[in-house]
Amino acid sequence: MIRKIFLLSSLITFSGLYSQKMHTVVKGDNPYNISKKYGISVDELYKLNPKVKDGKITLGEVLVVNKSGATKAVATEKTSSELGKIILQPKQTVYGITKQYQISEAELRKLNPNLDSHMKIGDEVVLPLDKINKFGGSQPVASNVPAANPQTVAVEVKAEENKADEDSYQIQEKDNYYKLTRKFKLTQKELFALNPGLEARGLQPGEIIKIKGEFSNTAAVEEPKATPVSEVSTNTYETTSVSDDYVTYTVQAGDTVFGILNKFGVSLDELLNLNPNLSQGLKTGMVLKIKKLDAGYVKKSGDALNVVLMLPFGFDTDDARARTLSLDFLAGAKLAIERNAAKGQKLDVKVIDAGNEASFKNSLTQINAGNTDLIIGPFFKSSVLQVLDYVKSNKIPVVAPFANTDDLLKYDNLILIETNEMVYADRIVKEVKDAYSDQKIYIVADDDRSKANYLKTNLEKTIRNASVNIVNSPADIQLDKNMMTGQSAPVIAVLANDKDSVGDAFANQMITLSKEVANVKAFSMYYSPVFEKKVDELSAANLVYLMDRKIDTEGDFEKEILAAYKQKYCKTPSKYAVIGFDVVNDMLSRENKKGEIFKQMNKVQTQLATKFEFEKTKNGAYVNKGYRVVRLLPN
């Protein structure tokens, strides 16, 4: 039963009562989804609206959608009689515009239907003229534009879920990707697949989207969320993954056939045989089959999954640090195991003391290679290599929670959890490029300078005539001088050192410089505790930093897990307890009764704090490339 809710505000007045139900056409509407929404046929829709010809409808058009519906109030939204246009300046964003001009994102997008494709410097954005005059300051104004005609808007909400039908959903004013993916148990990638074009145009209030289809049974992925001070977002790789029995690749902007052949080491004939439509041309967004997967691991007998946890408790060497780390990891792992067992998963879990690197070989004999379906651990690279050698004839999946180096990539039964630092470096290069406006760039290096040199090389390749300087200390970051005026000029600074003490010094230096001149910009490859302690001060430096894990304490799933952990252990989870839960819960959720974990590696999943988004490398291993981008926005 539909419950009518009438919106009252200073912008809305009631125009009267009608005996017919009305629908205002919004972006994404077509005769089919409108008729489906209101339970009438397309022919009936045409009969009720004779002006609709050949299925053509226009945005804002008001349609009759039933013959004799219940009496209903209709609201008329008064739009501002005068509109204007501003000219986009460097660094302006959708979020920044809504904040500066005190306008909702929904209203901004309503005035600018193609907003996302018109956000380049010099582009024009339509806004209410009174808001431009009141909040624009020195913002360049293009011109006035004709006023929008008042529209008749029918407002109705289903009592239970605001859905058009069981397979569709009508976007509401406060919806975002995070809420939708969690609500309907979809990943962002699946949501976009069900709704072509949604990623480009964004969520439009009133639009009907599909929320069920062939992709409806996978885990949810956390989406970017804006807060008054900081914006936390996740990076989404949609390149190489696994689908059914093939390695697949999603074509990116700038890709060429030659580049794809070279990247994956396949021939043109092989690629065309798997992708006949490629003969019509390479298009961004195409999903290509690259090659047939090698036969993966399949369990040999029994219903229960036999899982081995190899943790370096350090009892033989009395290594207290390793023991603490392992016990914390095990605490989180046990919670994940119990949760999956409660859901009906049959598990036989064996915990092995992996000792230390010197005594590790003795631990291998405790693994029954003929009846083990998954090995999580050990922690150290040398031990991981020994496990891989021990199970090479069985191809048992091995999960390395912390080790991640290039020489591990050749093992196709290996799953690497830690995101490689060069992935972070590549993202920092992109962030700096997007923020760059002819400033001097400083990079604070660590002792071996390899990451700093990588950043410098790629920044100089990416940004024409960039002035990039590698320094050893944050104290060496200094404001530039304007040659014409002699005044101080802002700079860009990048932290490529993971020591907390250097992070403290970097934060303090950037706070000092941002007080002297506006538009200083700071970036960090690493998280440092000082970033959360001094959020307000670092917001003035526009700090952007990357981190592998962050708990959304407002999320329902996260609240549930934190409460369960506290009930079980009477404390909040430590960093390694969180990692233990995330790794084990993610891996067990990908397993089926046959132990075919590799068939589920294409699912993007966010656990308590970690985003898992695996890419199968050219050499064979699966590498997690999920991480978070945290932006501190000026007040």
Confidence of residue 450 (pLDDT cuts 50, 70, 90): very high
Confidence of residue 18 (pLDDT cuts 50, 70, 90): very low
By the 8 A CB rule, do 441 and 492 touch?
yes
pLDDT at 54: 58
State yes or no: pLDDT of 250 exceeds 70: yes
Q: What is the mean pLDDT of residues 428-454?
A: 93
Alpha carbons 111 and 105: distance in angstroms, whole number: 10
pLDDT at 17: 35
**Most trustworthy range by pLDDT among 81-95, 117-131, 557-571:** 557-571
**Most trustworthy range by pLDDT among 242-246, 398-402, 612-616:** 398-402
Weakest-pLDDT range from 142-151, 277-286, 301-310, 316-325: 142-151
Q: What is the mean pLDDT of residues 191-210?
A: 71
**Most trustworthy range by pLDDT among 45-54, 115-124, 359-368, 375-384:** 375-384
pLDDT at 200: 55
pLDDT at 75: 33
Alpha carbons 310 and 320: distance in angstroms, whole number: 17
> What would the pLDDT profile of 339-353 be if each residue is shown by its tens digit?
999 999 999 999 999
Whole-angstrom CA distances from 286 to 77, 269, 281, 622 are 41, 18, 10, 22
> What would the pLDDT profile of 503-562 be if each residue is shown by its tens digit?
999 999 999 999 999 999 999 999 999 998 999 999 999 999 998 888 888 888 999 999
> What would the pLDDT profile of 143-163 be if each residue is shown by its tens digit?
565 544 433 333 232 333 333
Confidence of residue 263 (pLDDT cuts 50, 70, 90): confident
pLDDT at 293: 64
Helices (H), 346-411: 360-364, 381-390
What pTM value is reported for the model?
A: 0.55
For the chain, counts of helices (H) and of strands (E): 20, 34
By the 8 A CB rule, do 579 and 332 touch?
yes
DSSP string, 456-484: HHHHHHHSTT--EEEESSGGG---EE-TT
The region that residue 316 occupies, defined by phi over 0 for left and psi between -120 and 50 for alpha, beta otherwise, is alpha
pLDDT at 23: 79
Sign of the dihedral through C-alpha 352, 354, 355, 360: positive
DSSP string, 275-324: -GGGGG---TT-EEEEEEPPP-----S-SSEEEEEEE---TTTT-HHHHH
**Most trustworthy range by pLDDT among 13-22, 41-50, 54-63, 273-282:** 273-282
pLDDT at 185: 75
Q: What is the mean pLDDT of residues 123-128?
A: 84
pLDDT at 227: 33
